Structure 1
Amino acid sequence: MENRGDHSHLQQRKKRRLVLFPQPLQGHINPMLQLASILYHKAGFSITIIHTNFNSPNSSSYPHFSFRSIPDGLSETEASTADLIAFSVLLNVKCVVPFQDCLAELLGGGGDDDDVACLITDANWYFTQAVADSLKLPRIVLCPTSICFFNTVAAPPMQEFYFNVHTDFQFETPVLEIQTRDPENINRFIKNIVKQTKASSGIIWNSFQELEELALTNLKQEFPIPHFLIGPFHKYFPASSSSLLAQDQTSISWLDKQPPKSVIYVSFGSLIGVNETEFQEIAWGLANSKLPFLWVVRPGLVQGTEWLEPLPKNFLEMIDGRGHIVKWAPQQEVLDHSSVGAFWTHCGWNSTLESICEGVPMICGQPCFGDQLVNARYVSDVWRFGLHLEKKLERGEIERAIRRVIREAEGQKMRERIMILKDKMDICLTRGGSSYQSLESLTNYIMSF
C-alpha cells in the first residue's frame, strides 16, 4: 500500500512531463511506446509523444498520453524503407524544423500544463541533441538494440563497414557486414549516433544486467554517462499491441491443438524480404521436418508477390493442417504458448528478448542488417541457446536445424540454458531486482533535472 510520502512523490511526478520521440519503424516504435507506458504507469510521469506522419502510432491505444504529429516531408518514393540507413539520414534532415517548432511550442506551454523534465529520443534521431541543447532541455537516449551490438559499432576501432565484436570475446572474422548502397553513409550515420549519444544525459536500454553485464562494463569506458537497464520492457504489462500490422488471433487457437514444445514458430520481423527461391526452400524445409509449424508470411515478404502465390504447388494440401500460415501473429502470446518448441527468427532485438523471456530456443536465420547479425552470433556462440543457419537457405539445412533444436539432446541443452536466463530475468523485474532498481534510479535522475 502507498504511504502518504509515496503519494506526494507521485503527485510531484505527475506534474513533470516527458516528451518522447520514436523513430517511425516497427522495431523502434514498440520499445518507445512500451517505455512510455512504464514511465507513466510505474514511475508516474505525464507523457507526450511527438511522432512523424509516416507510420504514426495508434493514439487511441494510449488514451493517457498526449500525441503531437509533425510533418516529415517524405515523398512517396522517399518513404520506401528499402535502404534503411538512407531513410534514417533523410528523416534526420527533414524533421529538424518541424520537431524544433513542436518542442518549442510544448516548452512554451502549448496546451500541456506540466513542466517538461526531459526529452527521450531514439538513438537514431541524432539531430535532436542540438535541438535539446538549444532549448536547454536534457536529452536521454533510448537504444532499442542490444548493448552487445552497440558496443560492436560504437567503440573504436571501426573498420570501414566491418565491425569486430570485441566485447565478451573476439571473433577471427568480422561478424557484421552492414548492407547499404552507400558505405560512406553508414560510417557517417553511426558516427553521428555515437557523437550525439555521448553528448546526451544518459542511455536507457531494453535489456537487463544479468544478460549483458560484461558488454555494459566495456561500453561504460567509452560512454561515461548514466546507463539504465530497465528491460525487458514488454514484461511490465500483459502483451500490449503497438503493432502497425493486424495480428491474426487464429495463431493461438491453432497452437492450442498442438502437442507441448512441438511447434517451430517462424517470423522474420516487419522489414526483411526473401526471394522466391529462398521462400520455397523455407517451405520445403518446414514440410520435410514433419513437425508442426506456425509461419508468419507478411504480405510482400517475397518481393513482387501479394502473399502465398510462390508456395510450391499443392503445398497446403500436402502439409494437411500440420502448418498454419498467417500474415502477422501476436508474437508475445505465441512465444508464451506451451506448444512452441523453437523460434526461427531474424534476430532483431525485440524478438530475441521476447524469446529469452519465454525460454524458447532459437534458430537464427535471415539476419540481414543492423544488430541482427551480432545478435545471432551471441545467441549461437556466446549465450548458446540457439543455432545459426550459416549457409544460404537450403531445405536440408533447414530441416536438420529444426530437428536438432526441437527433437535432439542438443536442443534440450539449449532449452536448459535459456530457462536459467529466463529465471534470472523474472527476478530482475521484482522488488530489489536489477531492472527494478534501475527504473528507480532513472526516475530519481529525471526528477533531479
Structure 2
Amino acid sequence: MENQTESKRRRVILFPLPFQGHINPMLQLANLLYSKGFSITILHTNFNAPKTSNYPNFTFRFILDNDPHDQRISNLPSHGMAAFNRLFVFNEHGAYELRHELELLLASEQVSCIITDALWHFTQSVADSLNLPRLVLRTSSLFCFLAYASFPLFDHLGYLNLADKTRLEEQVEGFPVLKVKDIVKLGFKSSTDPIGQMLGNMVKQTKASSGIIWNSFKELEEPELETVIRDIPAPSFLIPFPKHFTASSSSLLDQDRTFFPWLDQQPPNSVLYVSFGSTTEVDEKDFLEIAHGLVDSKQSFLWVVRPGFVKGSTWVEPLPDGLVGERGRIVKWAPQQEVLAHEAVGAFWTHSGWNSTFESICEGVAMIFSPFMGDQAFNARYMTDVSKVGVYLGTVWEREEISNAVRRVMVDEEGEWIRENARVLKQKADVSLMKGGSSYESLESLVAYISSL
C-alpha cells in the first residue's frame, strides 16, 4: 500500500510511436500503470491519433506535427510503409518541441519518468538534458533486439548486401535459428543506410536508458533474457500485456463484430483466423492465390482483409462472386484478442508481427507464419524452430502450398503436436502471472522502480 500511495502522487509520461503495432502495447502499459496508481500523460502525434474518449483517465498532449505549414511533414504519405518517413523526420527534428513540452510538464507537477517507444531514439538526449529518467518500451521480442544489435556484424559478413544468392539458405552466424534470407528480407543494404542507422541508434539509446520494458515473459525467451541482462546495465522488465488488457480500445480502425454469431456456431478448434496486420499489402494475383488456397483447404476461416490490403483495390473487388461460400467469412477488421480466445479458433495465419504473434501465444493458438518485412521473419523463425508453435509458409503465394499449410496445422497429426506446444506456452504464461511467478514479480519490480525514481 505504501508504494501505491506514493505512486498516486507521481505522473508517468508515455510516448508511443504512431503506428498500430506500437500504440497497442504502449496504451496497454499505460492502463497497467494507471491500475497501479500512477497518473498518466500520453504524448502523441496527430497522425494516427488514438481515440482519446476511450481513455478518460489519461491526459493527452499532441506534439511534433501540429504545424500544417511544416513542409518536412505536410507532404509525407499518411498510409502504408511510406508513412515511416515520419520516423526519420521526427527523430531528426523533434528534440526542441519535445523538450519544450516536457519542461512545461515538469514545471507543473512531479514526474517520475518518461517511457518512450524504443524507436524514438532522439528522446534519450532530451531526457538526459532535463535529468528525467527515460525507460523504453521495446515492442518486439528480445530475440529481435539482439539480432538488430548484431547488424554491424551482419553487414561485415555481407548479409545485408548479398550478391551470392546461393547463400540465402545459410544459417546466420551467431544466430543459427535465422537464415540469411531472413536478414535480406529486411530490405536495406547496409547498417549505415537510413533504416540501418535508425535501428543502430535505437539499440544504442536503448542501452543508455534507465530501463527496458518488454512485451514478453521470461519462460518464452529465457536464453535471450540472460544475454540482455549480461550486456545491458539497465534493468529489464518482462510483462505480457495481452494477459492484462486487450488492445480493442486502441484500435485505429473500426472493429466488425457481426461475425460472432457465426463463429459461436462453429465446432471447437475448427476455424482458421487469418489476418496480416495493419500495414501489409499484396498484389491482386497474390490475393486471389490466398483466397483459393483457403477455399481449397476445405477448412472454415475468418479472414480479415483490411481496406487497402489489395494494391489498386478499395477492398475485395477482385474476389470472384461465390468463391468464399458458406465456409468462410471476410471482415475489414476484428477484435483480434477476442477472436483468438474463442474456442472455435484452431489456428492463426499471421504476418508474424510481434503483437499478433504474442497475442496468439497468450491464447495458446497455433500459427502459420507469412512474414512480410522488418522483424516479422525473425519472429516467424523463432516461433517455428525454437518454440515450435507453428509452420513457416512465407509469402511466395501459391494456392496448393497455402492449402497444404492450413491442413498441416488444422487437420494433420503434426498440427496436433504444434497445438499442444502452443497450449503449453499459454500455461507457462498463465503461471508466470501468479504470485511469485516471473511476470508477477517483474510487474511489481517495475512499479517499485518507477516509484523510486
Q: TM-score, normalised by structure 1?
A: 0.92
Give the aligned partner of residue 3 of structure 1.
none
Distance in 1, Cα, partners of 2:398 & 2:247: 34
Distance 1:296 1:170, change over 3 A: closer
The residue type equivalent to 1:188 in the other structure is Q
Q: 2:115 aligns with which of 111, 120, 133?
A: 120
Distance 1:169 1:215, change over 3 A: farther
The residue type equivalent to 2:10 in the other structure is R
The residue type equivalent to 2:282 in the other structure is V
Q: 2:350 aligns with which of 345, 348, 362?
A: 345
Structure 1 stretch displaced more, 247-256 or 418-427: 247-256
1:81 Cα deviation after fit? 4.0
> CA offsets, 1:8-65, max 9 Å, x none?
4322111110000000000000000000000110x21111001111111111111111
Distance in 1, Cα, partners of 2:75 & 2:326: 40
Give the aligned partner of residue 270 of structure 1.
278
Give the aligned partner of residue 415 of structure 1.
419
1:225 aligns with 2:229: no
1:225-374 maps to which residues of 2 (within 5 A)?
Answer: 225-230=234-239, 232-237=240-245, 240-311=248-319, 313-314=320-321, 317-365=322-370, 367-374=371-378
Distance 1:419 1:391, change over 3 A: same
Distance in 2, Cα, partners of 1:176 & 1:241: 34
The residue type equivalent to 1:447 in the other structure is S
Q: Which consecutive residues of structure 2, in runs of 5 or more, have no partner in the other structure?
A: 161-170
Distance in 1, Cα, partners of 2:257 & 2:386: 34
Distance in 2, Cα, partners of 1:261 & 1:377: 24
Q: 1:69 aligns with which of 62, 68, 74?
A: 62
Is residue 251–residue 334 contact of structure 1 (8 Å, CA) maintained in 2?
no
The residue type equivalent to 1:51 in the other structure is H
1:359 Cα deviation after fit? 1.0
The residue type equivalent to 1:242 in the other structure is S
Distance in 2, Cα, partners of 1:377 & 1:179: 14
Q: Which consecutive residues of structure 1, in runs of 5 or more, have no partner in the other structure?
A: 1-5
Is residue 186–residue 375 contact of structure 2 (8 Å, CA) maintained in 1?
no
Distance in 1, Cα, partners of 2:200 & 2:333: 35
Distance in 2, Cα, partners of 1:173 & 1:15: 50
1:154-233 maps to which residues of 2 (within 5 A)?
Answer: 154-155=149-150, 157-160=152-155, 162=159, 169-171=176-178, 173=180, 175-180=182-187, 183=190, 184-230=193-239, 232-233=240-241
1:382-397 maps to which residues of 2 (within 5 A)?
Answer: 382-390=386-394, 392-397=396-401
Distance in 2, Cα, partners of 1:407 & 1:97: 57
Provide the identity percentage: 52
1:351 Cα deviation after fit? 0.4
Give the aligned partner of residue 95 of structure 1.
94
1:178 Cα deviation after fit? 4.9
1:337 Cα deviation after fit? 0.7
Is residue 265–residue 295 contact of structure 1 (8 Å, CA) maintained in 2?
yes
Distance in 1, Cα, partners of 2:184 & 2:88: 19
The residue type equivalent to 1:212 in the other structure is E
1:424 Cα deviation after fit? 0.6
Distance in 1, Cα, partners of 2:103 & 2:159: 39
SS in structure 2 at match of 1:250? coil
Q: 2:124 aligns with which of 129, 140, 152?
A: 129
1:389 Cα deviation after fit? 0.8
Distance 1:348 1:170, change over 3 A: closer
Give the aligned partner of residue 432 of structure 1.
436
Distance in 1, Cα, partners of 2:84 & 2:75: 17
Aligned-CA RMSD value: 1.9
1:320 Cα deviation after fit? 2.6
> CA offsets, 1:331-354, max 9 Å, x none?
001001111111000010010011
Distance in 1, Cα, partners of 2:52 & 2:174: 39
Distance in 2, Cα, partners of 1:286 & 1:139: 46
Distance 1:303 1:319, change over 3 A: closer
The residue type equivalent to 1:99 in the other structure is L
1:391 Cα deviation after fit? 6.1
1:371 Cα deviation after fit? 1.2
SS in structure 2 at match of 1:89? helix
> CA offsets, 1:235-266, max 9 Å, x none?
11356421000000023222112111111111
1:70 Cα deviation after fit? 1.0
1:362 Cα deviation after fit? 0.3
Aligned length, in residue pairs: 433
The residue type equivalent to 2:23 in the other structure is I
1:275 Cα deviation after fit? 0.5
SS in structure 1 at match of 2:346? strand
1:190 Cα deviation after fit? 1.2
Q: TM-score, normalised by structure 2?
A: 0.91
Is residue 15–residue 116 contact of structure 2 (8 Å, CA) maintained in 1?
yes
Distance 1:358 1:18, change over 3 A: same
Distance in 2, Cα, partners of 1:390 & 1:266: 14
> CA offsets, 1:290-324, max 9 Å, x none?
1111000000001121111111x22xx24332110
Give the aligned partner of residue 82 of structure 1.
81
Distance in 2, Cα, partners of 1:168 & 1:158: 11
Distance 1:167 1:258, change over 3 A: farther
Distance in 2, Cα, partners of 1:240 & 1:83: 25
